[in-house]
Amino acid sequence: MAEAVVDLSAIRHNVRTFQRRVHTGTEVMAVVKADAFGHGAARVARTALDAGATWLGVARAGEAMQLRAAGLTAPIFTWLYDETELIWLADVDVSVSNVAELNHVIAAPNVRNVHLKLDTGMHRGGSTPDQWIELTRAAAYHEAQGSIAVRGVWSHLSHGDELDASHSRRQLQLLTTGVALAKRAGLTPQYVHLANSAGAITLDAPECNLARIGAGLFGIDETGAGLRPSMKLMSKVAQVRRIKAGEGVSYSHTYVTPRDTTIALVPIGYADGIPRIAAGQASVFCRGIRMPVLGRITMDQFVVDAGDLAVEPGEPVTIFGDGGSGEPTIAEWAEWAQTIPHEIYCGLGARVPRRYIEEAQR
């Protein structure tokens, strides 16, 4: 009764947009964690690589192994794992934030490539500056012993989506200092990476040669870079009825009709990822107009106001899309739900099938 239509040509467009915006020689890592923000990790990963990305990024060890099981052979970087999961990660690059983690990696059979993470101000993982020299010296020692290869040094932006890049520049300065100290310890990292999607646009960072693109891959355009939304969420009208003024709609009758009207039932709800908090503000697109959501959004369905239109069961309903036809966008739904588009995408449940298309580039 509902489906998420993923436009793979939008993924390609977005990868190529970032390739044009970053410095020459900077590679793109397509971050496909959380099942590619709900879009389908393996399918999106293949598309991003075909468009020119050279790396894949995931948060967790299990996500990396799912990509390998799908036959993807590109370099994969993961930053969250526990000691017991390292045995799975023989051909995956892992993040290391302290000497204890480094020792776990050294003890794991076959795990070799590491990226040392420096906390430059996010305060959410990474080596503290006062522990950095100890970490880099220990890593250099074990690299000389042949136990590991320090393939990268990295950090994460805390204010990457701000057009004023002053905070990001301070983080870049700290990372640059960290790289210099790593080299002084004897390391020669091949990759230095800091920027996320927004930071790749707002921060001029020739010192970095890899950009981690997650939100932007799916058209979440925080900086006006000309990205294309990659998903349209569709459903169909399930039932239609005419009700009189003064009738309550949905649980607890939080909405009472001020006039006679036609209401339509849309069979998708908060179990599928439609945010319940958006009730009272949200609308959908049907028959060329926006129809407001009436009353509470329930687990499996919600009701919209069709006014005096002669709507029929089976009519298509666009919950969100790119906005080109007047339909709500993912950004509007995020605003109605007091959240960010990332959460709306990631919240779409398994009951909503994904269908993949390749629309012509616009």
Q: Which domain holds residue 155?
A: 8-218
- Do residues 109 and 119 touch, judged by C-beta distance below 8 A? no
3 in any annotated domain: no
Angle at 346 between CA 344 and CA 348, to 5 degrees: 75
Burial level of 192, CB count in 10 A (0-12/13-18/19+)? buried
Same domain, 260 and 205: no
Tell me the CB-side half-sphere exposure of residue 110, using CA atoms within 13 A: 8
Estimate to the nearest angstrom the gap between the alpha carbon of 109 and the chain centroid: 31
The reported pLDDT for the residue numbered 110 is: 87
Q: By C-alpha distance, which of 157, 209, 187, 224 is closest to 17?
A: 224
Q: Residue 116 and residue 97: Cα distance in Å, rounded?
A: 6
The reported pLDDT for the residue numbered 160 is: 85
The reported pLDDT for the residue numbered 360 is: 58
The reported pLDDT for the residue numbered 28 is: 98
The reported pLDDT for the residue numbered 89 is: 94
124 is in an annotated binding site: yes
341 in any annotated domain: yes
Same domain, 146 and 200: yes
Q: What is the CATH number of the domain that holds 48?
A: 3.20.20.10
Residue ending a domain, choose from 192, 218, 244: 218
Q: What is the CATH number of the domain that holds 323?
A: 2.40.37.10
Q: Is 251 labeled as catalytic in the residue annotation? A: yes
Write down the catalytic residue from 232, 236, 251, 255: 251
DSSP structure string for 311-327: --TT-EEEEEB-STTS-
Q: Is 33 labeled as catalytic in the residue annotation? A: yes
Same domain, 163 and 185: yes
Residue 34, CA distances (Å) to 40, 57, 63, 287, 347 in order: 9, 11, 8, 34, 10
Q: What domain count does the chain have?
A: 2
Same domain, 197 and 246: no
16 is in an annotated binding site: no
The reported pLDDT for the residue numbered 163 is: 82
Q: By C-alpha distance, which of 294, 289, 339 is closest to 318?
A: 289
Same domain, 143 and 38: yes
The reported pLDDT for the residue numbered 242 is: 97
Write down the catalytic residue from 33, 117, 232, 236: 33
Q: What is the pLDDT of residues 1-19, one digit of tens each?
A: 899 999 999 999 999 999 9
224 in any annotated domain: no
Residues of the chain below pLDDT 50: 361-362
Q: Residue 232 and residue 296: Cα distance in Å, rounded?
A: 23
